[in-house]
Amino acid sequence: MIDLSLFELADGLIAAGLTVQEEIAQIISQLKTLAADERTVFGIPPMTQVWARK
């Protein structure tokens, strides 16, 4: 699940010229390896999005 945020951002990061697909794939692979390690703890801040009209 930790890799999902990066996966969703990938197209925007690539379009902005900040990275390339190969780097995204490598980082996602590393994140999956870390997530599979029971000694690893991730802290992810909760994010919300609200749309409203007054």
Q: Is the entire prediction scored with pTM above 0.75?
A: no
Q: Is 21 left (phi over 0), alpha (psi -120 to 50) or beta?
A: alpha
- Rounded Cα distance between 30 and 4, Å, is 13
Instruction: Identify the band that residue 2 occupies on the pLDDT scale cut at 50, 70 and 90.
Output: low
The H or E element that residue 11 is part of is helix 2-15
Q: How many CB atoms lie within 10 A of CB 31?
A: 19
Residue spans of the domains in the chain: they are 2-36
Report pLDDT digits (tens) over 11-50.
999 999 999 999 999 998 998 898 889 998 877 777 778 8
